[in-house]
Chains A and B, each alone.
Chain A
Amino acid sequence: MEILVRVLRWTSLLGYACASVIYLRPLIQASGTSRWAIRLLVATFAVHTAAIAAGWVGAGWAPIGSSVDSVYFFAWLVVVVLFVVEAAAKQRTFGAFLLPVVLPLIAFSLLAGRGRALPAAVAKSHWFEVHALSAFFGYSAFAISFCAGLMYIMLARQIRGRQFGRLFVRLPSLELLDQIGYRTVSIGFPLFTLSLLTGALWANQVWGAFWRWEPKETWALVTWLLYTSYLHARFNAGWQGRRAAMLSIAGFSFSIVTFVGTSLLAKGKHSF
């Protein structure tokens, strides 16, 4: 089963790499997003799903218990959210920005060895399940807002410089990008808040303390404060457009450090 999982993971990496190239082509050359890009992405996603299912059956435990498995699962969720956003916005350009984020995540899950795992007894809690899943969904929503922010900045620069190139033709309008960025933060923020709350309840159940100021907890708090600032600035100070896009990009950068960086580099209860 372990060999099968590895083969499926490598296949998904290859598939996403090819899909990234095909998705990026319309932004570089004069061509539309080929149907083959979508077909390839769907096929690769099926392989990705099979790899997770096989890992689940093999380990007998949801694929979020180790650093490597959780990153691979997160990449899967990002692709799920990509499908939802592309369908809702009737746009095929998000993949060009999001798949290059998915690729290093999958490469990491293949090259980082087995990764550190939580003792099974520690993870045996419903609080943990809610904590981990809501964090993954929250991060996935933030990934979309990051992409929308990035697209906004690039497109706004072209418009400001009156260089109406392929990005101008292919990307959604600035208003739509701003809305997508805001709505995904509106969905991601409550999920991320829920993750912090249930994580604290879980920690209190396991270790007798809600908060220990561990590196991961502190980074998560900083990430939460950033998105809190984003929403306050947007609701009350009218921050939209470029400034909101910059905050989205900063927020997701902190999310990645919170999720992947501190699990690998820092010592603490979350270092698994």
Chain B
Amino acid sequence: MNAGAEALAPEGAGRPTGPASRAWHWFVSIKVGLILLLIITILSFLGMLVPQGGDEAQYVEKYGQAGASLVLALGLDNAYHSWWYQVALLVLAVNITACTIWRMPRAVRTAFRRQWLEPDRIQALALKKSAVVAASPDQTASRVRDALKSGRYSVQERQSGEALLFSATRGGISRLVATIVHIGLVVTLLGGVYGGRSGWSKLVFGAPGETVASPDGTFDVRVDAFKVLTNADGSIKDYISSLTVLEGGREVLKQDVEVNKYLHHRKVNIYQSSYSALPERFASARLRVQWPDGRVSEPFDAPYGEAVEVPGSPMKATVESFAADFRIDTETRRAYSASLEPRNPAIRVNLVEGERDLGGQWVFLNRGGVHPHEGAPQVEFLAYEPLYATGLDFAHNPAVPIVWAGFALMAVGVLPMMVLMTHRRIWVAVMPDGGRARLVAGGAVNKHREIFQREFYRLMDGVESGKEEAGRGGN
């Protein structure tokens, strides 16, 4: 119970009468809010128990056929996008909105409207003090004024019969903390729903030199270069894509995109999201040639598709094809890469000596060739430098400003909590008592009562200045 709460009864909080009114009061109650929070906590927890986004086979393996059917039927495989989770979030959002609308007028009134209490009502507060001060009423009033101002209170005073009343308040804005946080939360949820429905995102891969289209078709992007920067210990430092935005074939923007630095064009953001080694091209291969008589060339580098001289011979070698995961199509006899992974890298190298074509051969990385020609020089495939395609995430989210606004409101709302900001109110009545003054003071705070209590007694003891104490209330 707040200090002095019994003397400051809520205004306009009448009992509900009809069924609709009772239902409304029940819905905006803290009890329902807490139950909803608990339900969402449990539902979120459920989603963590089941692996998300798997396929049926994975669930059958993990839970058996019956268990997998249950998981899929209940939508537990995609819990956070399931209808029941969305409904729970929606009900919570409606509850928060309703609570906020219901409580806001009272919160605003309490925060900004100054209350005046007569001596008898001050005496009814839980936190109170009364004393006879050995000073004139004017001197005592002056002490009260100074004490409250030294405590950074906003002080007003008025005469009421014989009594001079003081109403001091501080931190009233903290009454709005919950309202601001709730509004922020609702705005954020609305932004999330709007962004989810109106926004889109698509991952697009592009190799250097390639041009890819924005998924909304409004412009194209040419990948001029892609670099993976590494630290001395081999760990990844950064990924950088040099991009050119094209509209109708015309260059309109050039920018490097890297992690934490995206490109913005026509309401579309382009993020550096991923990368992949190209499965059927590379930058350069390291080769060596061995002749039938046992001679071996020095290793040499052969860029993809370029004819290069074999050291110590008149021959030239050209890498014509590459497959990171080599397979042969048994019908067409065509070689291809079965996956993006370098599980079985192989190249097809063609050797030419002067005008004479010595033929091509498929050679596997560090494992020799397929059907090498007898009597012909053999190529060894020692290493290769992959060519990477950059993975760009094209995203459009019209709700970003709404989410930002929601976040800002939530941040503004929660930060005062950190400094234990409270709404402190002190009422004082100074009345003449013979040649002296009678002081009646009381205080109320919405939380952190013990801090306020210490301050209240410090200020009022200062007013009394160690004179005869008539009594101390509260605890």
Footprint of B on A, CB under 8 Å?
Answer: 117, 119-122, 124-125, 179, 183, 186-187, 189-191, 193-194, 197, 200-201, 204-211, 213, 215, 218-219, 221-222, 225-226, 228-229, 232-233, 235-238
* B407 and A187 within 8 A (CB): no
For B271, what are the chain A residues with a Cβ–Cβ distance below 8 Å? 206-208
Q: List 22 A-B contacts (CB under 8 A).
A: A119-B236, A119-B237, A179-B450, A186-B417, A190-B418, A191-B418, A193-B411, A193-B414, A194-B415, A197-B410, A200-B407, A201-B404, A204-B403, A208-B201, A208-B393, A209-B395, A210-B403, A218-B80, A221-B44, A226-B41, A229-B34, A235-B178
* B231 and A120 within 8 A (CB): yes
* B237 and A121 within 8 A (CB): yes
What class of interface size applies to chain B in its complex with A? 35 or more
* A190 and B34 within 8 A (CB): no
Interface majority SS (helix, strand, loop, mixed), chain A: helix
* A232 and B45 within 8 A (CB): no
* A187 and B418 within 8 A (CB): yes
* B414 and A228 within 8 A (CB): no
CA distance A117 to B407 in the complex (A): 28
Asked whether B159 is an interface residue with its Cβ less than 8 Å from the other chain, the reply is no
CA distance A142 to B146 in the complex (A): 40
Residue of B nearest to A192 (CB): B414
CA distance A225 to B88 in the complex (A): 14
Asked whether B239 is an interface residue with its Cβ less than 8 Å from the other chain, the reply is yes
**Chain B 260-273 near chain A by CB (<8 Å), digits 1 or 0:** 10100000010101
CA distance A236 to B418 in the complex (A): 19
For B273, what are the chain A residues with a Cβ–Cβ distance below 8 Å? 207-208
Question: Count the A-B residue pairs with Cβ separation under 8 angstroms: how many?
Answer: 112
B261 vs chain A, min Cβ distance (A): 9
Asked whether B60 is an interface residue with its Cβ less than 8 Å from the other chain, the reply is no
Residue of B nearest to A188 (CB): B418
Given known A191-B418, A221-B44, A225-B41, contact A205–B260 (CB-CB < 8 A): yes
CA distance A209 to B192 in the complex (A): 10
The 9 closest A-B pairs by CB, nearest first: A121-B238, A208-B395, A190-B414, A121-B259, A236-B30, A213-B80, A190-B418, A208-B271, A119-B236
For A210, what are the chain B residues with a Cβ–Cβ distance below 8 Å? 192, 195, 403
- Taking CB atoms and an 8 Å cut-off, the chain B residues in 36-65 that contact chain A are 37-38, 40-41, 44-45, 47-48, 52
* A117 and B38 within 8 A (CB): no
* B400 and A204 within 8 A (CB): yes
CA distance A236 to B258 in the complex (A): 48
* A237 and B37 within 8 A (CB): no
CA distance A120 to B229 in the complex (A): 10
A150 vs chain B, min Cβ distance (A): 22
For B393, what are the chain A residues with a Cβ–Cβ distance below 8 Å? 207-208
A186 vs chain B, min Cβ distance (A): 6
CA distance A238 to B273 in the complex (A): 48
Given known A201-B407, A218-B80, A236-B30, contact A194–B260 (CB-CB < 8 A): no
